[in-house]
Structure 1
Amino acid sequence: MNGLKTTMLLAALTALFMGLGYTLGGSGGAIIALMVAAGMNLVTFWNADKIVLSMHNAREVDANSAPEFYGLVRDLAQRAGLPMPRVYLIDQPAPNAFATGRDPDHAAVAATTGLLAMLNRDEVAGVMAHELAHVQNRDTLIMTMVATIAGAISMLANFGLFFRSGDNQNGHGNMIATILAVIVAPFAAMIVQMAISRHREYGADEGGAKISGNPRALASALAKIAGQAERIPNPVAQRNPAAAQLYIVPTHVSELFSTHPATEKRIAALEDIAAQMGAPALRTPSRASALSPVAARPRRRSALDPHGRD
């Protein structure tokens, strides 16, 4: 089903890309746009994970460089019945996480150091289980391709401020081209994102709750992340707003244009899942988790601390 959805989405975005190319450059612009879109689709399909990870300057970790975090992901992947994904850390204070890759055999999961410092172990497990649920549901390919192509559409739309179609010799035609380029195309890309993203996030929340066995820990993590995501700058999302849809909680996006459901609604849904599972109330830990870089452990560095602080 997700394969069909991916194909339909790519066809819609490619048609939108061609339409914008035709508006700005006539039939020649449409042909160029088609060639560019086809090239982007192929490159993104085979290199989805590399594109996103490079965008975030993520560094791969293993059982030696981050034993606790890597071990946590390994245990969750085994519970989910998934191949072990590659695991990455992003040196960034903004708390967030995402999954990428074209299929479960080529998947990668990443978390920021800010997220690991903020959450306790159970909450980190809930977040990473959510990301593994995206892998399990085969959402990662469509997420990455949407981010890449929607970003390209927005980039092309910016050219509409300066580019004038050779087929239009009057100011009225130029005005229409500019309006279509600057307003309609980016808005249409956001509509496509919204059409696929909200249901996908609810599904990943439910899947993550089942994988971790602790839906209330995921709910607690979402509340903490959402509280900070709007306050702490995210340079990657600022440069490429389409990348925000990859995160477990998007940054600096209004509810109208958000690719995710409201965090409050997601938490309410997780509370319902917890009640159905008979999950116990979430206990507040008395100290920082062992996964946290600020855990108070004398003369022992946290396995997740990228700066080697004691």
Structure 2
Amino acid sequence: MTNQFKTAVLLATLSGLLITISNFIIRGNSGLILGLILAAGTNLFAWYQSGKIALGVYRAREVSPEDLPRLYDMVDRLSQRANLPMPSIYVVPSQNANAFATGRDPEHSAVAVTEGIMQILTEEELEGVIAHELTHIDNHDTLIQAVAATIAGTISHLGQMLTYGMWFGSFSRDDNRSANPI
């Protein structure tokens, strides 16, 4: 199964879930329309902003060739060898040893490494880690990871909506409360 197909399945599943739950909470056409709007908005948001959010959560800062020339040269050399466009490079202010790749496609990708991993690994080991992250970019794994994270967050939010719907009852089109099943 290709990664593009997996991404389409994840987005379709998210859309179906949003539409179904919106229809459950708000009965009738209003629920369906709200579900469609939520699904379209969430999918577009996941597609275009998930990489930026991941970098923001980790407080990663973008680095230039002047900031870390050895790291920048390493990523550039490995990207050329893999026939990939040069990703943006970020450093995460953490002593944990970690690295990740993000972005919706190779042209909009980024590689992030923590300060800790740069301190404890040799240059050869760090090169192996970065090569691994570049394979995620090449295989479009980064988009699948971002969509999966968006789905997880949306499911959590929808669970809260369902909880409130069960406590207070859902609303029908004519604004009458339905009975609380509990």
Q: In structure 1, list runs of 5 or more residues that go unmatched.
A: 176-310
Offset at 1:21? 2.0
Offset at 1:154? 0.9
Structure with bigger strand share is 2
Corresponding residue for residue 151 of structure 1? 153
Take 2:15 and 2:33, find their aligned partners in 1: how far apart are those partners? 11
Aligned AA for 2:115? T
The one of 23, 43, 55 aligned to 1:41: 43
For the pair 1:14 / 2:23, whether they are aligned, the reply is: no
* Cα gap change, 1:7 to 1:113, in 2 (>3 Å): same
Offset at 1:134? 0.7
For the pair 1:166 / 2:168, whether they are aligned, the reply is: no
Corresponding residue for residue 85 of structure 1? 87
Offset at 1:155? 1.8
Take 1:58 and 1:9, find their aligned partners in 2: how far apart are those partners? 27
- Kindly report the root-mean-square deviation, in angstroms, between the aligned alpha carbons of the 2 structures: 2.0
Q: Secondary structure at the match of 1:161?
A: helix
Offset at 1:6? 1.4
The one of 127, 149, 152 aligned to 1:125: 127
Q: Deviations over 1:121-177 (max 9, x none)?
A: 2322222111100111112222212212321221221233323312573342xx4xx
Kindly indicate whether structure 1 or structure 2 has the higher relative contact order, using CA contacts under 8 Å at least 6 residues apart.
Answer: 2
Paired residues of 1:21 and 1:30 also in contact (CA < 8 A): yes
Paired residues of 1:44 and 1:51 also in contact (CA < 8 A): no
Corresponding residue for residue 26 of structure 2? 25
Q: In structure 2, list runs of 5 or more residues that go unmatched.
A: none
Offset at 1:82? 1.0
Take 2:137 and 2:63, find their aligned partners in 1: how far apart are those partners? 19
Corresponding residue for residue 230 of structure 1? none
TM-score of the superposition, structure 1-length normalised?
0.51
Take 2:139 and 2:41, find their aligned partners in 1: how far apart are those partners? 26
Q: Percent identity?
A: 42
Offset at 1:7? 1.4
Offset at 1:99? 1.0
Q: Secondary structure at the match of 1:146?
A: helix
Paired residues of 2:10 and 2:147 also in contact (CA < 8 A): no
Offset at 1:109? 0.8
The one of 105, 113, 116 aligned to 2:115: 113
For the pair 1:4 / 2:9, whether they are aligned, the reply is: no
Paired residues of 2:88 and 2:109 also in contact (CA < 8 A): yes
Offset at 1:55? 2.5
Take 2:72 and 2:58, find their aligned partners in 1: how far apart are those partners? 19
Take 1:151 and 1:108, find their aligned partners in 2: how far apart are those partners? 22
Aligned AA for 1:131? E
* Cα gap change, 1:169 to 1:8, in 2 (>3 Å): same
